[in-house]
Structure 1
Amino acid sequence: MVEARYKIVFEGEPMPGVALETVKENLARLFKSDSRKIDSLFSGRSVALKRDLDEAEADKYLAALQRAGAMVRKEQDRSNSPLEAKDEPAPMMAPQTPAMIDSMRCPKCGHEQPRAAECQACGIIIDKYLARQAQLATEAAAAQASITSATAGSSPYAPTRAQVGEVLPEYGELKVLSTEGRIGRVRYLGWSMALILAFLPVGAVIAASFALSSTLASLLAIVACIVLAVVGVFIGVQRLHDIGWSGWLWLVNFVPFVGSVFALIMLVVPGTSGPNRYGPPPPPNSLAVKVLACLVLLAPIVIGILSAIAIPAYQDYVSRAQLTGETRYEQPADTAIAPQSDSASE
């Protein structure tokens, strides 16, 4: 009975998880060949690397080549049979003896060593490492397939969804003493009212300082006015940024007649709903901001009511004061003339 003979077949594919260049280097070292001949093995066609082997030798070659990272298989060699002979390409090179194939290269770190189950340099278990790499490759292929199937129904002409530019936060940071950032209409009113309320005690201090020195009071008034104007510019510029306008437009407030209309526009025009070129939208208004804004809106009503009560009372007071003064200085017409004494007439 004729003993079965085997051959080792290679189709140019590496083991899962092994880099192609690593496989080429390992095969070049095993076969003691140059890179040009090794590259010809990766043409995609089947190549018999070794023929006419018994089963033990074939298993030995198969294990050595698989450890080198080449995906090879063992097949029964029928080329020597006169009934089943067929033309097959001869091996591209003559491999070395099994003793030479006993050397291997670690698929992880590339360390060359005698054939063993464990790498002497990095300490990995080679079979487990190759199995893990194959598992990772399978999972990556499955994930890519799921992504492809999920997007299969989308239009091929749809724009890419890659993120472009800097990721902006949901809300901008609030800075009172800055020209950067944005504030809405309610916060603009609230901060303006807070500025007025903060200026009231300062005004009281300035008024009290007049008793000490008029020069000191004047200096304090100038400093307070400058601070008030600067802070007003800051919050006005941020309000314009919320609308999407340049902060330089705040200077329109100094234009006669137009400035009063522009100030009303700053109170009425809403800001942009999302981010604009000046940053993300301002955060939601707090309760304190809403209360201060309500005070600004209620101030004209309260002043009007107080004026409607105070002005008629003041006019009545002035009228009564005038009547009292006229009565005091008016002399009566029927004033009696005192009689002269006899001594005076003599």
Structure 2
Amino acid sequence: MALLNQLPTSWISASSPHSSLSVTANKSHLDPCSSGTAALFVQKLKPECSNFSDHHYAKTSPGKATKDWVKAIQSEWNLLQKNLPESIYVRVYEDRIDLLRAAIVGPPGTPYHDGLFFFDVRFTSEYPKCPPKVHYHSGGLRLNPNLYESGKVCLSLLNTWWGNGCEKWGKSNSTMLQVLVSIQGLVLNDRPYFNEPGYKNSAKTTAGEKNSLAYNQTAFVLSCKTMWYSLRKPPKHFETLVACHFHEREGAILDACSAYMSGAVVGSSAGSETRYACDKSFADFKKSLTLYTEHLRTEFAANRSRVLELDRQASAVGEIVPTS
């Protein structure tokens, strides 16, 4: 299995939270044995590349591999290699080219900031005529209207949501890269409450904005819970990415938790004067966040030991894992 892990790209947003994003690239990097962030230049010891047992689609049959099907998947690999943003990580499997796993970093300014969200992908025998199947590692949590507890991803580009024209999957013009960037930019956005069908009309109304703020509180608590789950049991072959990502960001995450418990609006920048009203909703949010902040503190402390051990192992073979 190889990890496709890229330097920054730029993208153009689309208007619908269920549609897709167009992508343009400027730089790229590929390290088939890396499992860390581009910003950290983390090198992972070579993994057991044939083990995909925890992949959601591991027990499915890849079907008959036609020449055109293999060529189409290899084309996807090449596109990902050249264009992935630095905040999206993808592993592909040499023994099962129909499978793929992606980790997406939650965007800043959203209730998902600093989180890691994992998706399993399968290219069926109908690909590229039909879109790939995508499963979200939810941990049984519903932290976004488009991401179900069952793992279903609701997105027009995957034909799991209504859409018009180019919003739907197209054999000749849609790509896995678009799917991943759309999930990051359109699903994991700063106002996910309005992704819910029918709720968009309530935007800019007093009730709608109040509900949106409350939804972001819940989404952030569930994002923290997802971080905790990932630290305790990271997906196979992403262990080092998880360890080093949260080692780098633990301070920012805990600072954000502290600010939000003091009344700062979830996703707001440092120094923002916008505050939550001290009502029952905020009291419940603060109580839940206090609990998971302590869970994260404990797990972050354990994670520091993991990173030190990774550093020790990497040093033995001349690789570098940052510990500060």
TM-score (structure 1 length as normaliser): 0.21
Name the structure with the higher helix share. 1
Name which structure has the greater RCO, CA cutoff 8 Å, separation 6+.
2
TM-score (structure 2 length as normaliser): 0.22
